[in-house]
């Protein structure tokens, strides 16, 4: 086991877009920063990162490798380990790791990304290659393919409408009969799409890489690209144990600044599971949180609290 300094100004849990961006900004303000993280990021399975005009298509491993080296250059320390628990008092936060013991800090930034909940029928090796969860990230690269959007209801129809311009054919496979009779479904049909009320039972990869799905209703569908809804779930693990106020999706409720209901805890990135949260959005929210932490240090009690900004008290 490596010997590590045990107390920091800020501990960041997570080394994705949000965590690494925040860590660099915090270290540049001369704070001592520890990042506790695992190497698996939400987009690790993708071949390239899109919508980054300054590094379009860069492999996730290259992007994160560069960011880690930048952070190390500014003195950020890394512990590549799972954070198992996080607790916070009025004065101190404590993060316990699986193999490297406990670390304390004055402030904590949760940047854990979402929990990915993939359906059991997904063929091995297709997530991030043929199967995605966003209409902006890899649809362009699959222009002209046969598409399927699979999920519960309205959100899936929305995903299909946002992506139909790329699709040779677009089939939305949804469970919700009411949504299939609603205006989004009508609009998709008017744009040439098909709406199937059914559930995928099994799927396999064909020799050409397309995915063949068989539904519970016995329909066979072949798609070159699949968009899933409902796979991105909020990361509630630390939000719950820290007693943070939760949002309507079940993730930590934050201000735009990343402030949570605990005065020593911030949260950034897609951990709180807003839909279609792209890489630069996660990075920007990491910067917002870093700025807010710096303001908290600089202004102390002159800084308005989470509750003041919401115009509420903890119990209202």
Ligand X SMILES: Cc1cc2nc3c(=O)[nH]c(=O)nc-3n(C[C@H](O)[C@H](O)[C@H](O)COP(=O)(O)OP(=O)(O)OC[C@H]3O[C@@H](n4cnc5c(N)ncnc54)[C@H](O)[C@@H]3O)c2cc1C
Which residues lie near ligand X (CB under 6 A)? 13-19, 36-38, 40-43, 45-46, 49-51, 82-83, 111-113, 128, 132-134, 137, 269-271, 277-279, 282
The string of DSSP codes covering 52-68 is: -TTSTTB-HHHHHHHHH
Interatomic CA distance for residues 264 and 108, integer angstroms = 6
Q: Which is nearer to ligand X, 142 or 215 (CB)?
A: 142
The single-letter DSSP state of residue 98 is S
Quote the least distance from Cβ 52 to ligand X, whole Å: 7
Closest listed residue to residue 247, CA positions, set 273, 270, 269:
273
Smaller CB distance to ligand X: residue 102 or 186?
Answer: 102
Shortest Å, Cβ 159 to ligand X: 13
Q: For the beta carbon of residue 194, count every other beta carbon within 10 angstroms.
A: 15
Nearest position to ligand X, beta carbon: 16
178: enclosing H helix or E strand: helix 177-180
Closest to ligand X by CB, 164 vs 231, is 231
Tell me how far, at minimum, the Cβ of 76 lies from ligand X, in Å.
13
Q: With respect to ligand X, which residue has the nearer C-beta, 133 or 198?
A: 133
Specify the residue, 185 or 290, whose C-beta has the smaller distance to ligand X: 290
| Strand 93-97 with 102-110, pairing | antiparallel
Q: Which uninterrupted H or E stretch holds 146? A: strand 146-151
Cβ atoms 275, 234 nearer than 8 A: no
Residues 33, 294: Cα–Cα separation, whole Å: 12
Closer of 180 and 271 to ligand X (Cβ): 271
Nearest CB to ligand X, comparing residues 46 and 223: 46
Q: Closest approach of Cβ 296 to ligand X, in Å?
A: 21
Strand 225-228 to strand 220-223: parallel, antiparallel, or no bridges (unpaired)? unpaired
> Quick one: 30 or 98, whose CB is closer to ligand X?
98
Q: How would you write 109-138 as a 3-class SS string?
A: EECCCCEECCCCCCCCCCECCCEECCCCCC
Sole residue written with tokens 């693990």: 237
CB of 220 to ligand X, least distance (A): 25
Least Å distance, CB 114 to ligand X, is: 7
Contact residues for 62 (Cβ-Cβ < 8 A; gap 6+)? none
b vs e for 217-247, b when ≥16 Cβ sit within 10 Å of the residue's Cβ?
A: eeeebebbbbbbbbbbebbbbbbeebebbbe
Least Cβ distance, residue 249 to ligand X (angstroms): 14
Least distance from ligand X to the Cβ atom of residue 140, Å: 10
């Amino acid at each position: 086991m490596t010997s590590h300094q045990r107390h920091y100004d800020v501990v960041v849990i997570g080394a994705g877009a949000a965590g690494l961006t925040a860590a660099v900004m915090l270290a540049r303000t001369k704070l001592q920063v520890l990042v506790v993280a695992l190497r698996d990021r939400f987009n690790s399975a993708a071949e390239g990162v899109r919508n980054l005009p300054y590094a379009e298509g860069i492999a996730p491993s290259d992007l994160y490798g560069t960011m880690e080296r930048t952070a190390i250059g500014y003195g950020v320390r890394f512990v590549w380990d799972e954070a198992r628990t996080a607790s916070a008092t009025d004065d101190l936060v404590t993060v316990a790791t699986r193999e490297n013991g406990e670390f304390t800090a004055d402030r904590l930034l949760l940047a854990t990304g979402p929990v990915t909940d993939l359906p059991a029928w997904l063929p091995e090796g297709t997530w991030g290659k043929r199967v995605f969860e966003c209409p902006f990230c890899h649809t362009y690269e699959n222009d002209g393919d046969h598409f399927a959007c699979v999920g519960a209801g309205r959100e899936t129809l929305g995903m299909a409408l946002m992506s139909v311009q790329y699709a040779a054919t677009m089939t939305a496979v949804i469970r919700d009969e009411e949504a299939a009779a609603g205006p989004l479904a009508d609009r998709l049909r008017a744009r040439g799409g098909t709406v199937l009320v059914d559930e995928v039972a099994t799927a396999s990869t064909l020799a050409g890489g397309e995915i063949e799905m068989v539904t519970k209703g016995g329909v066979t569908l072949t798609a070159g690209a699949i968009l899933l809804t409902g796979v991105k779930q909020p990361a509630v693990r630390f939000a719950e144990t820290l007693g943070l106020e939760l949002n309507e999706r079940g993730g930590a409720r934050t201000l735009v600044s990343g402030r949570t209901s605990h005065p020593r805890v911030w949260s950034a990135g897609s951990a709180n599971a807003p839909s279609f949260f792209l890489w630069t959005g996660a990075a920007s929210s990491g910067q917002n949180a870093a700025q807010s932490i710096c303001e908290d240090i600089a202004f102390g009690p002159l800084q308005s609290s989470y509750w003041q900004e919401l115009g509420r008290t903890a119990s209202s």
